[in-house]
Structure 1
Amino acid sequence: MIASLALAAAVVATPVPAKTASDMLVPASQPREAVALLNCLVKSDGRLTACTVQDETPSELGVGQAALSMASQFQVDLLGPDGKSRAGSYIQVPVRIRIR
């Protein structure tokens, strides 16, 4: 019994090495790119507001939330491809995040 207690204490006291940068790399089985699709309102200065996540792939990485946190820094051309002003309208904004 004393030997088993000593062995248990040795297991508990064994330090766990700190993770290195190479330990934190994304495994090859995980996707190398994550994509979120935001739906945002274009303000009169071209900045985006009232964004919501329409889709994100893969969903378990939280790329939608990451894209939302960056959206307030985005600015778009006020004139759309049709030549009309986008101010006051909603647009879809794809956000791709590369994973290394």
Structure 2
Amino acid sequence: MVERRRSRSRAYSLSGSASFGLYRYGRTSPADHLLAVDKIHEVYEELKSKGIEVSEMTYKRGGGYSFRFRDPDGHLNHLWGGWPSAEDEERNA
């Protein structure tokens, strides 16, 4: 699926429990890679423990947990923990 809105483009690939997305903001900005991961809190702590600079973990109602980091080549990556559970929604109400 590819979706375009004004100066913003999105492309998604969904397969079973895995998903991958590319975002481009404006005409000159690099793509933002979106990766869905299981156990996002563990991935977050592992990246931090390896000295990788990560953004703050955020939670959006109806959207779940996510954070960003840059890979060694400077590409911006957005990790998403998948759709929130009822427990996540209740805990973050």
Classify the TM-score, shorter chain: under 0.3
Greater gyration radius: 1
Higher relative contact order (CA 8 A, sep 6+): 1
Select the structure that is richer in helix. 1
Select the structure that is richer in strand. 2
TM-score, normalised via structure 2 length: 0.24
